[in-house]
Amino acid sequence: MNQMQSTQELLAPVVKTVKINLPVDAAFRFFTKDVNHWWPLATHSVFGNEAVSCTLEGRAGGRFYEVHRDGRQSEWGQVRVWEPPHRVIFTMHPGRSPDTAQEVEVNFQEEADGTRVTLTHRGWENLGEQAQVMRGRYDQGWETVLGQYADYATSV
């Protein structure tokens, strides 16, 4: 494998899909408005066990952030595209400078028996030398996060 092939594989987007047995509008609302109810803050946040909430503001230009028990906030990203109930795109840079942000696009596609949710996380080159390690972490991390989302969506 030459260097160019290696770089292309390294920077390939992380793509995850989950099926939710709900209408598309509910699946979108649960992912966005209800994010604080299902996001695994203890393991997937900047503040860890000290995190008390996270919020994805429902509008283009809105913030995606978490709150520490003492009131401090940590920015995770910013909403770039807000198209309910079919698509949301936000940047992702939890605990890092916004110039290292990647982009996460989540699409909600209606199917006969529910909604297919497809998450695409791209822009790894913004992390420089950490790109490969961080992509691997997010590849596994999104499995956990989307699993929590699916569990929440089926329990409500």
Q: What does the pLDDT look like over 7-49, one tens digit per residue?
A: 445 589 999 999 999 999 999 999 999 999 999 999 999 999 9
The residue with greater pLDDT, 48 or 2, is 48
Whether 147 has a pLDDT exceeding 90, the answer reads yes
**Domains in the chain: boundaries:** 13-155
Choose among 38, 31, 37, 58: nearest CA to 117. 31
How far is residue 153's CA from residue 8's CA, in Å, rounded to a whole number?
35
CATH topology of domain 13-155: Alpha-D-Glucose-1,6-Bisphosphate; Chain A, domain 4 (3.30.530)
Q: What is the mean pLDDT of the chain?
A: 94
Quick one: what percent of the chain has pLDDT higher than 90?
92
Task: Respond yes or no on whether the N-terminal peptide bond of residue 13 is cis (omega within 30° of 0).
Answer: no
CA dihedral 43, 14, 80, 26 (to 10 degrees): -70
Residues 6 or more apart whose CB falls under 8 angstroms from that of 6 comprise none
DSSP string covering 102-120, please?
A: EEEEEEEEEETTEEEEEEE
